[in-house]
Amino acid sequence: MSATSTPTGTRATRVLGFATLALTVWLIVFGLFVSAEDVVQGSTVRIMYVHVPSIWVAYVAFALTAVVSAVYLSGKNRSLAWDRVAGASAEIGVLFVAISLITGSLWGRLTWGTYWVWDARLTSTAFLFITYIGYLAVRGLGGTFRQRARRSAVLALLAVLEIPLVHFSVVIWRSLHQESTVANSGTDVELDGLMLFTLFLGIVTFTMLFVWMVLHRQRGLALQDAVDSHGLDVAIEQRRQEAEVR
């Protein structure tokens, strides 16, 4: 391993990282300069290419957190690796919800004339963000690795129930936020081919970025657990020696 390489990297993550970087450059060029302007929103539609993929990755991240938490709790495989994937995924999900809220707020200022309204979609997304901040706080409480894994897994299975609430909030309640247009064939909104391609490119790029980040972050958490575990072993050994001296 060279001095500049990361201890959590492998050949596969490096290949994935370079591919994601190339797609990111492609997305920025298409999103900012190549794709067409919207007939109604004009150039502000360009925010969509980072806003929609951000919330998509947040949904995927929180869903993954719930799935690996369920695997851990099911008892079939009680490896702490599942817990670390859950923790890494939730942390990344929180980042992408925050990005989605900020970019949505900037977009809202241009289209609605305000940065924020207490609308069903915006409020439920903010609530989702706060819930997973709480999840990360719970992970940071004391106790053994097993206690951390068990309590955070239970919380992850409850928190994920908010995702359908956020997603369908625009249907359930009267909302300023528009309904989904690409995945919903019932609307009369049609995206230009290049706009649709750029949006798809954004979703693929952000998904690959998410996979790369989870791989690195969960290995980083494994290293942290190893250091904490060694520290505990050293403390126990010191106590044992102190007891023998007495």
CA dihedral 68, 73, 79, 81 (to 10 degrees): 30
Subset of 190-209 contacting another protein (CB under 8 A): 209
Subset of 23-52 contacting another protein (CB under 8 A): 24, 28, 31-32, 42-44, 46-47, 50-51
Q: Does 230 bind another protein (CB under 8 A)?
A: yes
Our CB check for another protein shows the closer of 26 and 168 to be 26
**Burial degree of 85 (CB within 10 A; 0-12, 13-18, 19+):** buried
> What type of residue sits at position 11?
R
Out of 106, 130, 154, 196, the only residue in the binding site for another protein (CB under 8 A) is 106
Our CB check for another protein shows the closer of 155 and 213 to be 213
Radius of gyration, alpha carbons of the chain? 22
Phi, psi of 127 (to 5 degrees): -65, -40
**Burial degree of 218 (CB within 10 A; 0-12, 13-18, 19+):** buried
Q: Three-state SS for 38?
A: strand
Our CB check for another protein shows the closer of 6 and 207 to be 6
H, E, C per residue of 42-84: EHHHHHHHHHHHHHHHHHHHHHHHHHHHHHHHHCCCCCHHHHH
Out of 16, 23, 67, 95, the only residue in the binding site for another protein (CB under 8 A) is 95
Our CB check for another protein shows the closer of 22 and 223 to be 223
Our CB check for another protein shows the closer of 32 and 189 to be 32
Residues of this chain that bind another protein (CB under 8 A) = 1, 6-8, 10, 24, 28, 31-32, 42-44, 46-47, 50-51, 54, 92, 95, 98-99, 102-103, 106-107, 109-110, 209, 213, 216-217, 219-220, 222-224, 226-227, 230
